[in-house]
Structure 1
């Protein structure tokens, strides 16, 4: 019996009670309106609800008396062992062992689907994250957003969202010319130009360009710059994609900013069309020869220029507007932006842009701002010289430990990682603790085969040890944890749940045997416990996958 079926049972007994007390009023309650929590003290049962206290005033009842009426009726429901009323009207419910233990088979049968839910069904979401300029390697800040963004995408998809994860390639504008000039200077053996990009990686890109175009220096100046910029850009973007794949981060879409500037068949770019669309809604005006969008009408601190008076070139905000509209045009009602700590100023302008585009800034756009992350003892990249590279962190700490640790904390909390702890194979290393629990479930299953224990028998009523009750209770919570993590965009809730589950499993392992001792015969309890063991392994595996972390079978 899970929380949903328990809620249905409670509503079934509540309806006649409510009708008797207030026949003129319809409660019109759904299962989602009944909230169950796991009591911190296991002596108080498996589940607790405050539904009586919430409804007492509407039904003209004393909360504790109403709770007792509900408890008396629930006590006769199949699968419920006992119901008690505590305090001012809490209802504590204890399931019988068979009803609780049946979950183990449910999980094993569901496999990778266990934990998936439909709380985000109907939501079409475009999730943009990382989006680093293709002018250099990914660094430590991008690493945190890559881990968080990909994990958020995974929990939203697991909760039924129609989601696309997207990387916006800032491949237009002055920075690309500076990048090309830097690569060209390195190819010529000249110093980095003022305002350009230094570092060994630029020299490496220059060597690649010369390998692809041995005739580079024979071209005219404009052609040299164009070739160096384009070949260097293509190579750097490929390296960024390789870094992300190594980090187990997958993007559905890489969206090029250049496509927004390209002129279509009718001679207008996506930016031109975006400005025209905003103008049709009355949000564009001219002042001092410049073209503006009146974003202050939607909560921005100032109106935004889309084209300056002394230029025919659109501003970055104009490209932002076209990009935002393109997401709507591609069918994504909800847009989520994950931005770094230095992008606080973007929140109001992006929300105002949503309003100017005709969307609801409170519902259709979400901007998450992350805080800085540091790594104790990390050295600056030898290639880039002024950053800590993602690739270096992966080589040093490992993808699993790095991803788990970065997803383990809320995005808005500053974070300092201790690599020595993350490389340690001890229980004070959270990722090792969880992965070891999974490896232990696999080892128990292997040993069970050798001992002649299999899953041909399943007697859930035998799972009555206190550690089994606690473990089953935690396993039952997994779908709700996933749904909550998706709703709040907080994958760290998955990590903390897995650590709690691993602890409960280790305690169960110390108390309950899956294989018989010595010459003892194999009994139904052993096969039944194997179901519980395998169910725990499945949930650990499913949870780690939501964080983009592997589930090793041996450690």
Structure 2
């Protein structure tokens, strides 16, 4: 019995009591909280439902908790239900019910843990979207890992997810990049506000290989040639780096298309017509304060040119017109102002502000030898995705970047991630999987296979119980991680599962030794070990990290 199944049993039991007493069912929460108590001696699981609802229903918490215990105890899945403290209810599962979790994992395989919380939802998930003016820096690399993991989590909860990259190929930064390429091609110093690094020289040389006469063209044509070829080359490098990092996108949307297609002009006229824009100080302003923004935003500047937000509004309209009911933006630490303005843009177009959700990610720093690493071999001024991957590999990089809440600044310890010891979190989890795969190979060498009639009710050792209950938490962890947009919950869970397995392995021998014959407990433990391996593999897959069978 999983925690979710136990929670449903508790709710149904409470509803039965409410019906018997003629009480209002609306008092009961839609979701009952069932958790593992900190002290295992108190039971396998506990709920505080009686404390939540008893007084609202005119009951005493301990009295209601006892009634709940009496009803739940009738279930064959429950070994005992006891009231504790002011109204907590502690449970112990029957061995057969606890072991059923093992069979559920083995039945569902790669699908174990998946749910339906977002079934029917169409979600646009935009992340990374780094400017095509240089290699992806560490902030973008963090989003590549976290965004990809979040997309996998949302899809695992039934959502139809489109992973989108907003290609910023319009604006001043592109002009600075092009001028930097031209200067490099001419052998001149980097422009004052330009981009430096060997990658600029490499791309400039590639442009000249494709268009040998580019520098002799009239200034406008020269600029356009370096822009067309150079930006394209840079973007292809970015896509290649992302693909090698295990992050692929369904859509690459070009910012420039919003202007050339007339989408920006169209949405401006739409907002003028519905009264969401007003004219003041020779500019057109969005009434964004009416929708929670701290100030109104200029959409068309006094010189008649669109402000950056005009493109943002047109882009949001395009997403909504494509049928997405939730648009998640994953933005950098300096983009807090976008939260209110994008929600205001949605409201101005007649949509719910909740159509928009903005996640803000904090900075990433590399540390080696206790000192910060600040310079890239290739980019010169920033550390890039390639630098991190070269230092620790894709798996370690993705796991470490996904392991922490994006709300916090992250210091990545390169020395720790290079270690092949249990101090290294990704090694710790992957080693647990490899150890389980090795155990199954050893079992096969002894002609021991998983048996469909294995008696999992024999799994009564405390370490077996800990491991089974940890396995049973996986579906609720995934659901919560998707709901809160927190993939790091999956990483932390995998570490607790690896810990539970290692402790079980140290305390309970699985395979017979010497001339010993296998027993029913042998087959039960083999099933448990395969369930643990499957869950580790499922969790690592959702983080985009490999589950090695040998290490």
After TM superposition, is the score higher than 0.5?
yes
**Counterpart position of 1:249:** 247
Distance apart, 1:191 and its partner CA: 2.7
Deviation at 1:27, TM superposition (A): 1.1
Cα offsets for 1:497-545 (capped at 9, x unmatched): 1111100000111122221121111122111111110110111111111
Equivalent in 344, 361, 378 of residue 370 of structure 1: 361
SS at match of 1:367: strand
- Select between 186-195 and 461-470 the one with higher mean Cα deviation: 186-195
**1:452 correspondence with 2:447:** yes
Q: Quick check: 1:180–1:230 contact (8 Å CA) kept in 2? A: no
2:178 is paired with a residue whose SS is: helix
SS in 2 for 1:376: strand
SS in 1 for 2:123: strand
1:266 alignment counterpart: none
- Tell me the CA shift for residue 379 of structure 1: 4.4
SS at match of 1:513: coil
Contact between 2:374 and 2:381, CA under 8 Å: does it hold in 1?
no
Counterpart residue number, 1:350: 342
- Please name the residue that 2:25 is paired with: 27
Equivalent residue number for residue 271 of structure 1 = 264
Aligned equivalent of 2:2: 2
Stretch moving more, 494-503 or 456-465: 456-465
Residue correspondence of structure 1 range 129-168 to structure 2 within 5 A: 129-168=127-166
- Within a 5 Å distance, the mapping from 1:189-200 to structure 2 comes to 189-200=187-198
8 Å CA contact 2:376–2:382 kept in 1: the answer is yes
1:300 aligns with 2:288: no
Match among 520, 524, 535 for residue 539 of structure 1: 535
> Quick one: distance in 1 between partners of 2:416 and 2:404?
16
Aligned ranges 1:58-97 → 2 under 5 Å: 58-97=56-95
Q: Which ranges in structure 2 are unaligned for 5 or more consecutive residues?
A: none
The Cα of 1:31 is off from its aligned counterpart by 8.6
Q: Pick the aligned partner of 2:401 from 393, 399, 406.
A: 406
Does the 8 Å CA contact 2:4/2:476 hold for their aligned counterparts? no
Residues 350 and 14 of structure 1: CA distance in aligned 2, closer, same or farther (over 3 Å) = closer
Give the Å deviation of 1:310.
Answer: 2.2
Quote the offset at 1:94 in angstroms.
0.8
CA RMSD of aligned residues (A): 1.7
TM-score with structure 1 setting the length: 0.95
User: In the alignment, what sits opposite 2:110?
Assistant: 112
Partner of 1:317: 309
Map of 1:488 onto structure 2 = 484
How far does residue 99 in structure 1 lie from its aligned partner after superposition? Answer: 1.1
- Matched residues in 1 for 2:7 and 2:420: separation? 42
**1:187 CA displacement:** 1.9
Q: Which residue of 2 aligns with 1:169?
A: 167
Give yes or no for the alignment of 1:441 onto 2:436: yes
Query: Cα deviations across residues 145-203 of structure 1 (Å, max 9, x unaligned)?
Result: 21111112111111122221211111012222222222122222233334222221111
Q: Which runs of 4+ in 1 moved over 6 A?
A: none
Cα distance, 1:28 vs structure 2: 5.0
State the shift of 1:12 in Å: 4.1
Mean CA deviation greater in 232-241 or 457-466:
457-466
Q: Deviations over 1:117-144 (max 9, x none)?
A: 1112233221111111101111111111
TM superposition score normalised by structure 2: 0.95
Deviations 1:276-326 (A, max 9, x none): 221222111222322222212222222222222224x32211111101111
Q: From the superposition, tell whether residues 276 and 512 of structure 1 become closer, same or farther in structure 2 (CA, over 3 Å).
A: same
- Indicate whether 1:393 and 2:393 are aligned: no
The aligned length equals 546
Cα distance between partner residues in 2 of 1:451 and 1:550: 28
Partner of 2:293: helix, strand, or coil? coil
- Does the Cα contact within 8 Å between 2:27 and 2:56 map onto a contact in 1? no
The alignment partner of 2:80 has SS state of: strand
SS, match of residue 82 in structure 1: strand
